[in-house]
Each structure stands twice: as C-alpha cells, then as structure tokens.
A and B are shown apart, each in its own frame.
Chain A
Amino acid sequence: MDFRFSEEQDELRQQARAFLDRRLPAAALGQMADSEPGWDPSTWQEIAELGWLGVSTAEELGGAGLGYLEEAILIEEFGRRLYSGPYLASVGLALPAIPQGQLGELAMGRVRWSLCDSETLRLVPNLMDVDQVVVVERDQVYSVPAAGQPLTSIDATRRMGRLELGPDRELLATGAEAAELALRLRRRKLSALALEAVGLAQQVLEWGVEHARAREQFEKKIGSYQAVSHPLVNSFVEIELARSLAYWAAWLLAGGHEDQLAAPAAYAAAAEAAVNTCERVIQVHGGMGFTWDSPLHRYYKRSLWIQHFGGPPDLHRTQVARQLMLSSEAGPPASQSAPGLRTIARTTR
C-alpha cells in the first residue's frame, strides 16, 4: 500500500492552489457570489488553458491523458475555494457520460456540461451556466441542450435550475448499458462531492484554528481553552478520516475497480465532517462567525448543499449496511458467529 500522491500530483495541487489564490481570493468570494451570474466566466478559459478540463481525456482527443486521481485533486482544491463555475458539474458529475467526440470541446472550454439525475424535479446544478446536460433516467441516458428555469439555491455559489426537456436529444446509452453508466455516474458524483467536502472543511478548519490562535478573551488566547480547542480537534479527526475515505473512493474509481461501498461511505463521512466543521468554526468565531461579511456562511451553505445534493448520509449508510449483511466476506468464520443465548451464566472469569 502506498497512500502518497506522486510529485507531479503534488505539483498539480500547488498549481491549483496558486491559481485559486490569485483569481479567487477568499476576500472576493462574497462579492462574486452576490453578483450576476455568480461566477467569473473568464476563469473558465484559463482553466481550459491550464489543461484542467481535459485532465482524463486522451491526448489524441485534446486532453492530458491522466486520470481521475488528478481530477480528484482539482475537485478538492476547487472545493476549498468554493469555485462557483461549473467545474464539479462538468468534470465531477457529467464527464463519464460525455461522448468521446465531444470531450475535446469540453477540454478547450467551448462546451460546458452538467448532470440531471433528478427524475421528477429535474434539478440541475449550474443549469444557467452550461450548454449541455446529461440526463439519467431509469432505462436510458441522453444529453439535451441546457434550457429551463433558474431556481434559488441554498448556496449562491452553486446555483440551480430546473431543466426543461426539448425535442432535441442525443441518446447516450440504453438498457443494461444505461444502468451500468448510471451506476458509474452515481459513484462518481458521491466521490466528487466527498472530495469537495473535504476541501472546504479543511479551509474552514484552518480559519477556525487561525482565529482561536489570535483572538484573546479574559487575557488569554481562546484556543487555550479546551472548550474551544477540543471541538476543533474533533473536526480535524473527522476531516482526516473522511480524507482517507475520499482518496480511497477516488483511487478505486480511477483504477476502474468494482466497488459499491467506498463512494457512499466517503460521501457520508465527508458531508457530515464538512457540516460539523462549519458549525463548530462558526461557534468558535462567536458573533463574527454569524455575520454576512464573514466567508463562513458561504462555506456552511455549500456544505449543506453537498449534504442534500448527494442525499441524506444515513440513507447511504443504510444501503451500505444492507450490502454488508449480504456479503459473506463480512461474517466471521462459523465457529465465531453471533453469540446465541448462553444457558450457563458466567459468574467468574
């Protein structure tokens, strides 16, 4: 086992961080979110030029020929800065369904994508910012031009719309192939949301720690009070555990490994770690954490968006439990299986 990212992968992360620091400083986040269209479309062309829209696309199709692990790094870093352009929508959600012939257009930044896997309400992230939408239905997957109504999202940095289906659609998969694709899209969605959640939670924790180190009350730094420091530690623990799960799920997906448990596991852990961390760090900031001027509410809203867009974590856990109970690997050898009622009480040992 080797959990380390390669040097090139570490460099990519540094590059992404530098780009986001330069183009989307945290101080500008609020203004951007409250403006129209809620993001800076000029960043899209830069992201395309950096090669980040064609990371996993083959070189002969205009991409970099890398894989999902590299995309995972970018999704995490974009989450850290609440990037509000359709990167998660295009790369995190829609990409596996995009026809090969159209990946080059995505890589060049000419066509943006999103995903609609909500059959009744047809809620689509970044609907007003994209050109094409992959639609997942029970027995078919197809793409349609993006059209519909803007809706008010709980997260102004991740706007939503209701898709209106026109007559113009391109069939991408049917029958068993569609079912298989839908499953892959679902795993990828949960994995991408987990990575984004880890990225944003890490940023929020860092702000919480920074504040607890600097802020003084009763002539002491508040970080020296265990009632303040221990909740921050709890967040650190939750984020580290969620990070391990998120990288595991991404690694499994990147390598094409069969697995239905890692992505929902990572998502459930990371979504909750993100919400918990935002809530704790808002508390650590006291009144300042409750203001509109603080970036914390933006992060909190994104964490809530993630937690609902991916579905309730406990629902995923329930499904994970059902699969575990079905799998024979889960049980111990017969000789040690569940204890039954003992007829002789043990009084001494």
Chain B
Amino acid sequence: MELQDTAEEAEYRARLRAWIAEHLPQELVGLGTRTGRLPLLRQWSRALSDAGYVGLTWPAEYGGGGGRYALEGIILEELARADAPQHLGTIGLGMAGPTIMVHGTGEQKAAHLQRILQAEEIWCQGFSEPGAGSDLASVRTRAELRGDVFLVNGQKVWSSYAHLADWCILVTLSDPDAARYRGLTYLLVDMHSPGVEVRPLRQMTGDADFNEIFFTDVEVPAANVLGEVGGGWQVAMTTLLHERATLGFALTGLLDSGIRRLLALAAANRDAAEPWLAQIAHEWIQLQALKLTAHRSLGQLDRTGMPGPEGSVIKLAWSESSQRMTKLARQLLGETAVLDDGIWNYQQLRSRGNTIEAGTSEILRNIVAERVLQLPRSR
C-alpha cells in the first residue's frame, strides 16, 4: 500500500501541471461539461492529444499508453484542479473506442481508433430514446437490412456532443419479432450521412448540452455493424461498463473544484457558515472518500482490464454529494441566493441531472444489488 504518488507519478503530475498552466486558455476555465467556445475547445482537445495526455488507458497496439490507469487518473485530477473543460472526444475515448477494441473488426479498428485518439473524430452516443430511458431493451429506432445497407429510422435523445459529432454509436432494433434483448443491433453511424438531423435539447439551466437526433431513411453500410446483428445488447453493455470505468476520476475532479469553491465561500462568510460547518466537512470528507475509492478500484482494472462495479458506487455517491454540496453553498449565500450568480444557481439546476444521466440512481442501485451483492433480480 502506497497512498501517495510514486516518484514517476509525482514527476508526471508536475510536468502536466506546468503544461496545463502554459496551455489552458483562460476563456475555457470553469466551463465544466458545457460545450460553448467551440473553436477554442477543439484547439484545446487537439493540444491535449498532441501532448500525449489522451488515451493512457488504451492498449499500446492501438496507439494508447498501454493501460496506465493511474496516469489517466492523474490527468483527470489535474485537469479538474485547473478547472479545465473535458476533452471533446470523451465519448470516443471512453466509450466508442474501448467498445470497438472489444467487438470491432480489423477494418473498424483501423478506420476509427487512431482517429479517435488524435481527436480527429468526435463521437456521440445514441442509446436513450423518448420511450427507452433506463430500459435500453425497448429501443424503437429501426434498422432494416436492404441489400448491403441498413435503413435507419427513429429518434434518440440526451446525446451529448451530437451537434459536433462525426460518428455515433447507435443502438437499433433490427428484429422486432426477436425475444427481448435479442433484436438489437449496434451500429457505427456517420453523422454526416443524409437523413441525420440534430436538434439541441434545452435543459432546465437554459443551456443545451444535449441533443435530439432524428434519423430518416439513413443508409448505414452493413459493414458498420459492431459485433453481431442481433448482438447489440452485449455490445452496449461493454460500452456502459466502460462509461463508468474512469468516470470516477472525472467526477471526483468536478466535485473537487466545487468543494474548493464551497470552502472559499465558507471562509469568506464565516458567520453564515457557522451553522453548516459539519455539513461542509461532510462533503469534503465524502470527496476524499470518492477520490480514494476511485484509486482503490484501479486494482481491479489493472488485474482484469475490465472495470469493476466500483464505478457505479462512485457515480451513485458522487451525484448525491454534488446535489447536497450545491444546496449547502446556496445556504451560505444568504439573501443574494435569489439572484443568479451564474455559478451556484447554475449548479443547483445542473446537479438535478446528476442522478439521472449515465444511469439513474435507481438503475445503479439495481446494478450494485444484483451484480455486487448478488441479490435476486428485481424484474
């Protein structure tokens, strides 16, 4: 057990910190997961890739850093410390890429992996639908085989980055007569294809971080099926597992900058903070616990190459912490809390999405109950 950076890690962290200080444009500081300032954000993502701070967890054979999860953790921590925005290619790097590595053909790997790594392809995720939120097996977006193309028709929602994306990982219904879970097919869809329409979806904050995607007679080559026709469920599960793999570090990073703000707010408003000190510390303690647990879960990744269920635990606890922290901060603001400060008011609203996105808390509790505690299925 060694709960501090090794010499190599410490040096890596120091170099990275200096690099961020030199390269991070001031305009991007504090952007969080929002996707404003697009040209700058693209430049920043490219710069991170060029400097080698992307894809550390990817195997070396695909141009990655060879599964160095600890360094990936450091990168996410340091980016959060600097309040830097997320890499635009986060869905390609964290979800599409790893899924293509597991299920992709040689051609698919050659076509996409390198380009994802170099931030040349931005990906989005087409899983959720108006009628299929947590219940992925009930997707209705149809894919009908016509010769050597699938004709795709349907609608997806809650897709981050779709307005910028070149490609989409799309879960479709290819066989409506098949037993549940067996009629799904996972497609790699070129977002520049005719018939793809992206509409921003405005959420309660007033921002549009997410999109709706409409597919009308979109032709997708049959060669773009990932895995087997009818095997989309298994492929999608790989994606979701990876979604929560290094998510822990990204999430604790976001919470870290929030907690630092909260402490600064408390230090500047001592009288207002006095009744809330225990709760303030509780959130700081929760953050330390989440960070430590993210590191603890790396043991599993290192051993098996597959993420363990800890990701679900961290996501669950993080989302609730994020909501409590925001409410707490607004208690400290006193009567000015009725005015929009652009920070805590935004967070108050945005954090309501935290227990819904990337697996609702209810679904995550089911996952932990069934896969970790081995309790009988609830449905």
**A residues bordering B, Cβ < 8 Å?**
1-6, 9, 69, 209, 212-213, 220-221, 223-226, 229-230, 232-234, 236-237, 240-242, 244-245, 247-248, 251-252, 262, 265, 268-269, 314-315, 317-322, 324-325, 330-332, 336-339, 341-342, 345-346, 348-349
Closest to A248 in B: B292
One digit per residue, 1 when the CB lies within 8 angstroms of any chain A CB and 0 when it does not, for chain B 281-298 equals: 110111011101101101
Q: Are B368 and A237 in contact (CB-based, < 8 A)?
A: yes
Chain A residue contacts of B313, Cβ below 8 A: 236-237, 240-241
Chain A residue contacts of B14, Cβ below 8 A: none
Contact among A233, A314, A332 with B264 in the assembled complex (CB-CB below 8 Å)? A332
Q: Measured between alpha carbons, how far is A314 from B279 in the docked complex, in Å?
A: 8
Q: Are A3 and B299 in contact (CB-based, < 8 A)?
A: yes
Q: Are A224 and B375 in contact (CB-based, < 8 A)?
A: yes
Q: List 4 other contacts, CB 8 Å, given A1-B9, A3-B1, A321-B280.
A: A232-B373, A236-B368, A248-B292, A349-B205
Of the A-B pairs whose beta carbons lie under 8 Å apart in the complex, a sample of 25, sorted by A's number, is: A1-B3, A1-B73, A2-B6, A3-B295, A3-B299, A212-B375, A224-B375, A226-B365, A229-B365, A230-B362, A230-B369, A232-B373, A236-B368, A237-B313, A237-B316, A241-B289, A241-B290, A314-B278, A317-B281, A321-B273, A324-B263, A324-B281, A325-B270, A337-B268, A346-B340
Q: Measured between alpha carbons, how far is A240 from B296 in the docked complex, in Å?
A: 10
Shortest Cβ-Cβ A-B pairs, 8 listed: A244-B292, A241-B289, A317-B281, A223-B375, A321-B281, A321-B277, A229-B369, A314-B278
Chain B residue contacts of A318, Cβ below 8 A: 277-278, 281
Size category of the binding interface on chain B: 35 or more
- Given the interface contacts A3-B299, A332-B260, A346-B342, does A213 sit within 8 Å of B290 by beta carbon? no
Q: Measured between alpha carbons, how far is A3 from B294 in the docked complex, in Å?
A: 10
One digit per residue, 1 when the CB lies within 8 angstroms of any chain A CB and 0 when it does not, for chain B 216-256 equals: 00000000000000000000000000000000000000000
Q: Are B376 and A209 in contact (CB-based, < 8 A)?
A: no
Q: Measured between alpha carbons, how far is A233 from B279 in the docked complex, in Å?
A: 22
Chain A residue contacts of B339, Cβ below 8 A: 341-342, 345
Q: Are A248 and B277 in contact (CB-based, < 8 A)?
A: no
Q: Are B373 and A338 in contact (CB-based, < 8 A)?
A: no
- Given the interface contacts A6-B1, A331-B260, does A245 sit within 8 Å of B374 by beta carbon? no
Chain B residue contacts of A6, Cβ below 8 A: 1
Give the most central of B73, B313, B369: most A CB within 10 Å: B369
- Given the interface contacts A3-B298, A244-B292, does A69 sit within 8 Å of B1 by beta carbon? yes
Let me know if B110 is at the binding interface, CB within 8 A: no
Q: How many A-B residue pairs have CB under 8 A?
A: 194
- Given the interface contacts A213-B374, A346-B340, does A241 sit within 8 Å of B264 by beta carbon? no
Q: Are B365 and A269 in contact (CB-based, < 8 A)?
A: no
Let me know if B105 is at the binding interface, CB within 8 A: no
Q: Are A331 and B267 in contact (CB-based, < 8 A)?
A: yes
Q: Are A244 and B293 in contact (CB-based, < 8 A)?
A: yes
Closest to A229 in B: B369
Q: Are A349 and B206 in contact (CB-based, < 8 A)?
A: yes
Q: Are B375 and A1 in contact (CB-based, < 8 A)?
A: no
Interface SS majority for chain A: helix
Closest to B317 in A: A237
Let me know if B22 is at the binding interface, CB within 8 A: no
Q: Are A229 and B378 in contact (CB-based, < 8 A)?
A: yes
Let me know if B70 is at the binding interface, CB within 8 A: yes
Q: Are B373 and A1 in contact (CB-based, < 8 A)?
A: no
Contact among A4, A9, A230, A339 with B365 in the assembled complex (CB-CB below 8 Å)? A230
Contact among B1, B29, B284 with A321 in the assembled complex (CB-CB below 8 Å)? B284
Q: Measured between alpha carbons, how far is A48 from B17 in the docked complex, in Å?
A: 50
Q: Are B281 and A245 in contact (CB-based, < 8 A)?
A: no
Let me know if B83 is at the binding interface, CB within 8 A: yes
Chain B residue contacts of A247, Cβ below 8 A: 1, 3, 292, 296
Q: Measured between alpha carbons, how far is A165 from B279 in the docked complex, in Å?
A: 40
Q: Are A223 and B369 in contact (CB-based, < 8 A)?
A: yes
Q: Are A342 and B342 in contact (CB-based, < 8 A)?
A: yes
Those of B291-328 within 8 Å (CB) of chain A: 292-293, 295-296, 298-299, 310, 313, 316-317
